[in-house]
Structure 1
């Protein structure tokens, strides 16, 4: 009698465990191929993305259309913004990865910034009006954090083939391509390191909103204009 009672219980636990494994596997597949969740760990992209926001990131967001100037991108910064050997050891790295997977923590090697320079562009700060120019034309940047100037750091950079020049919207609180001008690679991020495009703020609920994308006109990697 006891055995017949225990058998269904065992089968129930096995079924529940199997269901959890299948759910995790499906979630992992979806997040590796289509949609992921990213935790915003700083103020560098305010006001569009705030510290503590959780955003859905489309991993296929640039498959149909190429990256545009003005796009916000999530990217793997190893080799450009972060050392290639970034890490704190297997145990801490595993715990950090779990927190990132659950959308509870940011990453030391994954970043979110805005594309200012595309391959072939010449990006300069600043013109007589204090605006950043790309290929001689002044950028209109309505997304820059209120009270910030486009940049207080003077620079001139030519973006190589297959690379991007990236800045945060909260310019006074962002470590970005400007900070790495003297480093190997000059702060230019390889395009194949782009993981996806933020498409929706999902948490906190009072900030639930789509992440806007700039218009397509004149901002594709194909023409560099």
Structure 2
């Protein structure tokens, strides 16, 4: 056995503390919990701001596909980098200013719902949900001899999503009590023309058209600014029994450019 001198090298064992870095100190459990909650909060806010946001359906205007109090998810990525809403998209948008009453514009009450709304985990108020029918330059007319909406002269086959209402003569709906004939557009640049799927029970763009001989009506109020659009509805989340992915109806692919 070779004797070791004072400068001889020996292996370092796990039990040795000489010449090694001190063990990393672990945070107390309560500090780790606060840190994890803070990280989760930041991520939730970032996701809401950039990617997803939860909303609820506030009325019957989007029946039969979306029913009042349904929970939906809106994704914002589609409209990044200059992207714009497309015909057929179901979108959530902020109130243009006079489409909702003060009661309808009110958000959730209570501290916890308000906090959850801020981070995108609870539906917020002051928004509407409608389907984009026309985009910039489009002309929308009601209706052909089969009661169909026309966009740039092309009739829309909307049987797959418009509510079948026996009291409604067409997919218009009636803007005035005595007629179903109306025309809107061309849609201004940076705006959309939207309608609910429950055509006779939706205060949408057709509802806000200036009616014949109407007083105090402001032309152009029927169009929604693209900047007010939060994003596209892509999933019906709740109730789980009706969970569904929302896609753009094929009929809009046949609409010619303006």
TM-score above 0.5: yes
Unaligned runs of 5+ in 1: 1-9
- Partner of 1:180, secondary structure, is coil
> Aligned residue for 2:89?
71
Distance between the aligned counterparts of 1:72 and 1:113, measured in 2?
6
> Counterparts of 1:181-220 in structure 2 under 5 Å?
181-182=209-210, 183-184=217-218, 185-215=220-250, 217-218=253-254
Which residue number in structure 2 is paired with residue 152 of structure 1?
Answer: 174
CA shift, 1:96, in A, is 6.7
Q: 1:171 to 1:87 in 2, by over 3 A?
A: closer
- The CA RMSD measured in Å over matched residues stands at 3.0
Q: TM-score, normalised by structure 1?
A: 0.79
| Higher helix fraction (1 or 2) | 1
Distance (Å, rounded) in 1 between the aligned partners of 2:137 and 2:76 = 25
Is the partner of 2:183 in helix, strand or coil? Answer: strand
- Which structure: larger Rg? 2
Cα distance in 2 for partners of 1:80, 1:87 equals: 10
Q: What TM-score results when the alignment is normalised by the length of structure 2? A: 0.70
Gaps of 5+ in 2: 1-26, 211-216
Measure the CA separation in 2 of the matches of 1:78 and 1:95.
Answer: 27
| Cα distance between partner residues in 2 of 1:14 and 1:30 | 24
In 2, Cα distance between equivalents of 1:45 and 1:144: 8
Q: Is the aligned partner of 1:179 residue 2:207? A: yes
Count of equivalent residues: 209
Larger mean CA deviation between 75-84 and 184-193 belongs to 75-84
Greater share of residues in strand: 1
Structure 2 CA distance for partners of 1:199 and 1:14, relative to 1, 3 Å: same
CA distance in 1 between partners of 2:105 and 2:58 (Å): 17
Which one scores higher on RCO, CA 8 angstroms, separation ≥ 6? 1
